[in-house]
Amino acid sequence: MFRFNLEKYDGYARAGEIETAHGKIQTPVFIPVGTKATIKGISKEDLDDMGAEIILNNTYHLFLRPGDEVVRDFWGAHNFQNYQKPILTDSGWFQVFSLGNMREGNSLVKITEDGVHFRAHTDGSKHYFTPERVMDIQSNIGADIIMAFDECAAWESTKEYARQAMERTHRWAVRSKEQWIKNNIAREKNGQHTQALFWIVQGVVYDDLRRESAKFIRELDTPGISIGGLSVGESKEDMYRTLDVLKDELPLEKPRYLMWVGTPEDLIEWIYRGIDMFDCVLPTRVGRHGLAFGTEGNIKIKNEIHKLSQLPLDSECQCKVCRNYTRGYLRHLLTENEMLGMSLLSYHNLHFLIHLAKNARSAVLEWRYNEFRKEFWAKKGVKI
């Protein structure tokens, strides 16, 4: 069960609604990352309180521990972690890519036409991912939205290698589709919800490759489209240009998901370029180290200037952290490495992004996204 209704667009910015077996998702939406079936320091009740509508679980990590078969024996991740809203899983490639320190000509993984051999970052054990195996793993995890297996080439790849990786991603997309169809038939027979498969556009930062990949993926008639291989080290200028290239190449009637994007500034600009869905570990990662998102810019809460401050983190934010705790107290918690401080800043950052996306949606529905975008940047002292 998967439907997408594009309600309105203002320029390229869009507002829509995704319907899944575990509930509806209003877009644009920021997706908190529960890498190992949990968002670090954040409970299910916290997620509900901050207005989260969907979370991401990581295929690679759950495959390694506790094992996708263990999650399957709980009848999927929704029951395993007691989260009954929509869940999305990624393909697992990015973790093979990043944790294996993969670079063209200097790789700790071995890519073949059939799949990829790699060693787990946890214990060095050998594993093998194929498109079919990755579809089976994600079926066992039981997410509502899953990703085709792809190859995310390094941002500095030569054009020759970028094309090889893109074409391999296309061949793997076809194989992923065939296995996804088989798995959905089996899931229906077992009384389980079916899964929506998103295929992934690749091509590094080469405009013609990105157009070619978008055309191929578009013709596969996918439930949704993901954009991979960005926010992996390339410049902001290259990222902007790539999305500007793709915004006219992707079908209007499909949701668009951009992976690994997690700053307030990124959300504003990518929504402006027609993206509907985002995820990133950044909000909780930087929160654990004392960085809070703010309307006027990031706040380094460990700085001495906040020691006696009785101000909230952000005067415009209505999250429980900003309503109940001062900067001085939060600074104390973070400088003492108290778990509560890490949890509270993580909560604030997630709430900030979730509600930024909700406010952007409202602006699109009211035909005022350009004004909203300008106001966002003006508060940071930037004129656009």
The pLDDT of residue 96: 86
- β-strand pairing of 13-20 with 2-10: antiparallel
Pairing outcome for strands 116-119 and 110-111: antiparallel
What interhelical angle do 339-365 and 264-272 show, nearest 10? 20
Task: Please check whether residues 98 and 247 belong to one and the same domain.
Answer: yes
Amino acid 223: pLDDT: 97
Do 159 and 210 belong to one domain?
A: yes
| Judgement on whether residues 367 and 245 belong to the same structural domain of the protein | no
Are 315 and 338 contained in the same domain?
yes
What pLDDT is recorded for position 104? Answer: 47
SS3 (DSSP) at 154: coil
Nearest to 42 by CA among 258, 264, 295, 288: 288
Residue 21 lies in domain: 2-280
User: Catalytic site residues?
Assistant: 90, 279
pLDDT for 286: 98
Instruction: Verify that 152 and 17 share a domain, yes or no.
Output: yes
Q: Looking at residue 107, what is its pLDDT? A: 58
| Statement to judge: residues 254 and 346 lie in one domain | no
CATH of residue 83's domain is: 3.20.20.105
**Final residue belonging to a domain, choices 233, 260, 280:** 280
- What confidence score (pLDDT) does residue 346 get? 98
**Phi and psi torsions of 351, nearest 5°:** -55, -40
Last residue of a domain, one of 280, 309, 330: 280
- 236 burial via Cβ count (<10 Å: 0-12, 13-18, 19+): exposed
Say whether both 335 and 208 belong to one domain.
no
Residues of the chain with confidence (pLDDT) below 50: 102, 104-106
Domain total in the chain: 2
Based on the fold, state whether residues 21 and 162 are members of the same structural domain.
Answer: yes
Cα 180 to Cα 50, 145, 175, 288, distances in angstroms = 33, 11, 9, 37
**Environment class of 324 (CB within 10 Å of its CB; exposed 0-12, middle 13-18, buried 19+):** exposed
Domain boundary, last residue among 280, 308, 327: 280
Is the omega angle on the peptide bond into residue 264 within 30 degrees of 0, that is, cis? no
Q: What is the pLDDT of residue 109?
A: 85
Task: Give first-to-last CA distance, the chain, whole Å.
Answer: 41
> Residue 175, Cα to own-chain centre: how many angstroms?
23
Instruction: Give residue 49's pLDDT.
Output: 98
